[in-house]
Structures are given as structure tokens and as C-alpha cells.
Chains A and B, each alone.
Chain A
Amino acid sequence: MKKDIILAGVGGQGILSIATVIGEAALQEGLYLKQAEVHGMSQRGGDVQSNLRLSSEPIMSDLIAKGGADLIISLEPMEALRYSEYLSPDGWIVSSCVPFLNIPNYPDLESVLARIRSHKNHVLLDVEALAKEAGAPAQAANMVLLGAAIPMLGIEHDKMTAGVARIFARKGEAVVNSNLAAVEAGYRYASSVR
């Protein structure tokens, strides 16, 4: 088993929380893991990404090669496309369709979404609306996205949700439950469109 994942978004959106949950579940599965993160200047509203590599065999490089990624998980549609050259021809894009508008020259949104749809394997979803529908706060939008990516992760659904529960356990049962509801909302959505 090998999954090379690029997590993408804008500084402050919470891509590292997604990585933390996947990492926790992967470790419990006994998988090898490497995760390169971005810290520093770009966290101030710039584009950020994290390379997350999971494998049943030892992993050498911390970075994913161009054409090597099995999955791009992005909290922002244009940010998903920023790494398209890293995606393998059979790879998946799982992305929020809600743009993060903090630059004056953001391209036409419909054109951005059309480029994502040009990938044969993609899931586009409104993570914020789905979080709201599930009764979860806006901060749980990243967990909706995680839920939508579960079918492509190669880690069983129940193992992933157990990871979510462990990561949020410190924050109390209410937080655990709202995050689990968010994960389910994303998972159901992705299962329905695939």
C-alpha cells in the first residue's frame, strides 16, 4: 500500500489538522509515514501545502515527485490546481469548490472549477455548506473534506473516524461529535457522486 497525498490550501485554513488525523490513523495501522509541512512566512494568507506520504514499506523522500501524487486534498479550488503537475495520471482531486478570495486577480471561478472537472477523477464539494447542514461549526469544514477523501485514502472508514475521535478527545465530547458529523457529511457526499 502506498498513498502520496498533497494537502493544499491557504495559510490558516487548517490543512495541517487534516494531515494530523490521517497521520494518527496511519500510525495506528502500522503504516510508515512522512509529512513535510510549510511553516513561516507563507502561513500569512499565502498558498500552503503539505506532502503526506503513507506506505506499508519504508519511505525515503519527504517530498513527492512530480507525477507521483495519488491524491490532492485541497480546501480551495485554485490551490488544488496549483499542484496538478504533481498528480499521477490516475490520481484524484478532492477539493472544496469555495474560493478563498484574498487576492485582487483571482481567476474566473467557473473556469477554475472546469479545469478541476477536466481531471477524470475528482470530487468537488462545498465543505462549508455541508458542515453547516451537518450541524457542525464552520471550523469543521476541513473535516468534511477529510471525510470526502476517505474512499481514496486506503484506510478504512472506521479507522479514520476512530482517529478523528482520538485527535479531538482532549476538546470534549461535543467537539468530537460535531467533527465526526462533519466527516460523515463529506464521506456520504463523496460516496454519492463517485
Chain B
Amino acid sequence: MHMCKICSIFVPKNTNKHICTMKHLLLGDEAIAQGALDAGLSGVYAYPGTPSTEITEYIQGFESRKSKDRPSDSKPIQCRWATNEKTAMEAALGMSYMGKRALVCMKHVGMNVCADAFMNAAITGVNGGLIVVAADDPSMHSSQNEQDSRFYAKFAMIPCLEPGNQQEAYDMMAYGFEMSERLKTPVLLRVTTRMAHSRAVVETVSNPRPQNDMSMPGNVNHFILLPAFAKRNYAELVAAQPRFTEESERAGYNRYVRGAKPEKAIVTTGIAYNYLMENYNPAMGYSILRVTQYPLPQAMIDEMVRDGAKEILVAEEGQPVVEELLRGMVPSEVVIKGRLTGDLPRMGELTPDSVRQALGLAALPTREKEAIVVGRPPALCQGCGHRDMYAALNEVAREYPAPRIFGDIGCYTLGALSPFHAIHACVEMGASVTMAKGAADAGQHPAIAVIGDSTFTHSGMTGLLDCVNANANVVVLISDNLTTGMTGGQDSAGTGRLEQICCGLGVAPEHVRVVVPLPKNMEEIKAVLREEINYAGPSVVIARRECIQTLKRHLKAAKK
């Protein structure tokens, strides 16, 4: 018997194929992870963020099974969570520098955090293959905006892949790494929620590629971005653009099919093709350009126009990126329809319904929405420490005429909703600390930041240093549940060291206080909060109690 490495099913040794015939039911995220593993990945670098988290978790699971089941199987793969997306991107660039294949994964807003490293990695180029996965969240299922990461690829002038299904996501990892090494460029792979979190059968290769050996970059100056060198690199990047376009035209992922009535054409990107095909009837006769790789394939667009396209409908998941670009690529008399013209909704993810409507088809017969149904917003778990933290904070805040509490990104953002209504702002990772500082600078008192432990180490520490240097009159309340809770309980970078970190940044040790958020400690927590609010300088209150979800898991594991 031997074990299938992917689904851990034992199969008889004498069968040539696995019982699963190398076909596995994988999430898009898992297909990406397995594709990277089978393409000789040496390291994944990531900070958790919906809908990207499962990529790294899958690789971690694979590694931990490997160390148990097959210790001599292959070289280890680095897969520890990074402190934030910028450290992740930089570490991946370092691994690429040494000639090995590296993967960086994040949700779309993580691209903003790593943008400095990302943009400049386009200038350095790569040695080992480097793929950056950005998982966008149109419709904001679990996000604060719906920015489209394809802009970042265009901005950095690097190739971008946008798989149209789970199999393609798997296949594109091997292709992406190979292209990255051949064209000496990082590659952005963009997915959206429905791709990341949807399962389909993926057929994997039976002969995974080994990892690269370590090797130094051929020209070290490529990685030294002094202006004199950077100018040369940038000129090379500009000169490489036609090759990137040619790659899009030649690689086979972009496909153009002339229709029987080619005066009408449809351009889809990524999974939008599936919504088109769900509704498509061959009698419609449109020419169809299926885009899953950028830069846009100019030759295919030219062909579509030569074939007689007078009207082009653009169906793309996310912002109208292609719709805008296309206007500069086709003659001005060609009519372009899409999200900007209202033929498809300007915001939110596409659906089979919205694409159906854009095709001019009637909706399927159905029942009305049920009026009796009310909303069921998510809420903090019963027994969660954030609840007790907010209960105490709310009582103390009420003692002041105009308190301002700046929230942050995590489960505790739900403190904005009923029954707590506790926070007055929530913008992006780490903003609580620095917005509280800015408010205090403006004269606000009390100015309180509420931030989770993982968010604090992700992007709050530098803001706290600003508070210390300015002796800002803020209280930073770190609600420490010892994990990255919202994304499902991943390791948190500062666990066990938060007091040291805060003191090290210069907060006076007597103003780094620790409380245990439990109902029985309510009076003590309130007293500590009062004291620190009344102290005229930066202070930190750490409310520490393990996330009840991870606690349950740990208790269960301990029982076994």
C-alpha cells in the first residue's frame, strides 16, 4: 500500500493509477497550492486574508503530513505565516534571488501593504520563479473594498494570469513559474472569491517537479536598485513588454473563436467565461475572446476587429479594467459595452443572472424574494473574549462626554454592530493606532485604539512607535486572543511577546497593563482602563484570553 499524497487515501501498490486517478476535488485555492507544490515550490510566504488563506493552509497541511508520513520524501518547504504581506513579498524575493521558486499569497488589500516590494520586484526581476497570488473579493463578502489586482500587474508592467477554472489555476502554477524564470519577471496570478472558494475536480500530474537547487543571480546589479542600475533595469522592463504580450498570444490560455455572426463579439476574463457559457447558445454566433492572461493579446483583438466586430461586450469579474483598456486598442467606431455602460452592474461580482441579462435573455421563471426573511449578520461568538473587552470598554467610555474608539480589522470589527456599537472607525490594518494618535493630536480625549494581536504585529507596531515618540495621549487596547481569529485561527506573529514588543517600542512598562477579559474581572478591567485613559501619554492595555474557537480545537486535540 502507498498513500496518495494529495488526498491521503491508501491505494494498492500494484495499481498504476491512484484510486482517485489523480483527480481531486479541490478549492481554487487548493488547486493553486497543489499546482505550486507540483511545480517545485520551495517557499510560500503569506499573511492570512479571505479569500486567500486556504492556499498557505493547504501547503502547511501537506508539509506536516509529509514530515510525519514521508520524512525522506523531499526538501522541506518554508510555509510559516509571515507577519504581514510586505515581509512575505520581500522574503519571497529573497528566495527567488537564491534561485528557488517562491509563492506569495494575499487578499487584494494585502497588495497595498506589499506594494513597495511588489513594484520594485518588477524592476529587479527574478532569479527563481516568483508568483504573487492576489485573491480579490468583488461584492466585498469579507473585505472593505473591491479593488482589482489586475491594476497592480499593469502598474508594475508584469504578466498577469487570471485562471478561468480550478484546473486552469492548477496548470497555471507550473506555467507561471516557468514563464517567470524564462522572462525573468515576477508574475501576478489573480483570482476572485468564487474561484478561490469553489471546488471542482482537478487532475494533477503524477511526476511533481523537484525544487530548484540554490543559485546566485547572474547579474547582482539587477538587485541593487541604485538609480543608475534601476534606470537600466526599468529600460529592460519597458523593452520586455512586447515579449510579454507575445507570450499572452502564444501560450494558449487566451483563446479567440470567430463566430458565425462576428459583428458582435464578447470578451470575457477569468471566470466570467463560465457565466457566459452557462447562458450561451451557439445560435447566437458571437465571436468570443476568452482572456486569462495579460497583457491583453493585441493580435487576437486585432483579429476580432478584422473579422468584423462592431460591438463588443466585456464581461469581467471586478473593475472595468479590460473595458477601459480595450477603448485604446480597437477603432473608435467599435461600440464597447460592459460595466461602464450599465450593460453589466458597475459594482459587485458577476453572476449567471447578470451575464444572462447582458446577453439580452429573459430571466428564468422563479418565485419572488420572501418578504418575511430578515438579515442575520455575523456576530462575535458566545464566550468570546472580545465581548467582555467591549462590555468593559463601553462602560468606561460612557463616563466621558465624547469618547472616540478607533477599531481595526478582525473579528472585533463586529463590535461596531449590535449589541456593542463600540467603535467609531475601522479602515485598514493598523489604522486604529495611528488614527487614535491623529485624533489625540487634534485634541481628542479619550482617544482609544482597539486592535487584535495579529493586526497589531501586522501593522500596529510602527504606529505605536509614533505614539511613543510624540508622547501621544492614546490608549491602545490590544484584544489578544493568541491567534488570527477571523480567518480561522492561524498563528499570530507576536504571541507571548506583546508586552516585550510594546516596552521595546518605548511604552513605559508601568503603562503596559494586562487583563483577562472575563465577566468576573469586569471591575478590574474598568479600573485599569480608567487609569490608563487618565494617564497623559501612550499606554497599552492587553486584554488576553484565547479565542474560543482555537481553544475548542486545542482541547479536542489534547483529548486525543
- Which residues of chain A have a CB within 8 Å of any CB of chain B? 10-11, 23, 27, 32-47, 59-68, 78-79, 81-82, 84-89, 102-107, 111-112, 115, 119
Is A115 within 8 A of B370, CB to CB? yes
Is B194 within 8 A of A62, CB to CB? yes
Is A35 within 8 A of B199, CB to CB? yes
Is A102 within 8 A of B379, CB to CB? yes
Is B142 within 8 A of A45, CB to CB? no
Interface residue ranges of B313-357 to A (CB < 8 Å): 351-353, 356
- Type the 1/0 row for B247-279, where 1 means its CB is closer than 8 Å to any CB of A: 000000000000000000000000101110111
Within the complex, the shortest CB–CB distance from A6 to chain B, in Å, comes to 12
Interface presence of B380 (CB below 8 A): yes
From B414, which residue of chain A is reached at the shortest CB distance? A44
- Which residues of chain B have a CB within 8 Å of any CB of chain A? 23, 25, 27, 50-51, 53-54, 141-142, 194-195, 197-201, 271, 273-275, 277-279, 351-353, 356, 363-370, 372-381, 411, 414, 418, 486-488
> B372: which of A34, A85, A115 is its contact (CB, 8 Å)?
A115
Report the Cα distance A40→B23, complex, angstroms.
27
Is A36 within 8 A of B366, CB to CB? no
Within the complex, the shortest CB–CB distance from A32 to chain B, in Å, comes to 7
Report the Cα distance A64→B194, complex, angstroms.
12
Is B364 within 8 A of A84, CB to CB? no
- Interface core residue of B50, B352, B378 (most chain A CB under 10 Å): B378
Within the complex, the shortest CB–CB distance from A8 to chain B, in Å, comes to 11
Q: Specify which chain B residues have a CB less than 8 angstroms from the CB of A43 in the assembled complex.
A: 378
Is A37 within 8 A of B198, CB to CB? yes
Is B353 within 8 A of A46, CB to CB? no
Within the complex, the shortest CB–CB distance from A154 to chain B, in Å, comes to 18
Report the Cα distance A11→B377, complex, angstroms.
10
Within the complex, the shortest CB–CB distance from B76 to chain A, in Å, comes to 26
Report the Cα distance A106→B194, complex, angstroms.
30
- Sample of 6 A–B contacts (CB below 8 Å): A33-B199, A45-B381, A61-B274, A62-B274, A65-B364, A86-B366
Q: Specify which chain A residues have a CB less than 8 angstroms from the CB of B363 in the assembled complex.
A: 66-67
Is A45 within 8 A of B200, CB to CB? no
A37-B199, A60-B278, A85-B368 are known contacts. Are A10 and B194 too (CB-CB below 8 A)? no
A44-B414, A62-B271, A82-B370 are known contacts. Are A10 and B380 too (CB-CB below 8 A)? no
Kindly list 20 other residue pairs between chains A and B, CB separation below 8 angstroms, not including A44-B411, A65-B278, A85-B368. A23-B199, A33-B201, A36-B198, A37-B27, A37-B197, A37-B198, A40-B142, A41-B50, A43-B378, A44-B380, A44-B381, A46-B376, A46-B378, A46-B379, A47-B375, A67-B365, A78-B373, A84-B370, A87-B367, A103-B377
> A45: which of B274, B369, B374, B379 is its contact (CB, 8 Å)?
B379
Report the Cα distance A107→B376, complex, angstroms.
12
Is A68 within 8 A of B364, CB to CB? yes
Within the complex, the shortest CB–CB distance from A114 to chain B, in Å, comes to 9
Report the Cα distance A176→B279, complex, angstroms.
41
Q: Specify which chain B residues have a CB less than 8 angstroms from the CB of A34 in the assembled complex.
A: 198-200
Q: Specify which chain A residues have a CB less than 8 angstroms from the CB of B195 in the assembled complex.
A: 62
Q: Specify which chain A residues have a CB less than 8 angstroms from the CB of B351 in the assembled complex.
A: 63, 65
Within the complex, the shortest CB–CB distance from A77 to chain B, in Å, comes to 10
Report the Cα distance A79→B352, complex, angstroms.
22
A40-B141, A65-B278 are known contacts. Are A33 and B200 too (CB-CB below 8 A)? yes
From A39, which residue of chain B is reached at the shortest CB distance? B197
Is B376 within 8 A of A103, CB to CB? yes
**Would you list the 6 A-B pairs with minimal beta carbon distance, nearest first?**
A67-B364, A67-B366, A40-B142, A46-B378, A40-B50, A44-B378
Q: Specify which chain B residues have a CB less than 8 angstroms from the CB of A11 in the assembled complex.
A: 378
Within the complex, the shortest CB–CB distance from A54 to chain B, in Å, comes to 12
A46-B376, A64-B352, A88-B364 are known contacts. Are A40 and B25 too (CB-CB below 8 A)? no
Is A38 within 8 A of B198, CB to CB? no
Is A65 within 8 A of B353, CB to CB? yes
Within the complex, the shortest CB–CB distance from B106 to chain A, in Å, comes to 14
Is A45 within 8 A of B378, CB to CB? yes
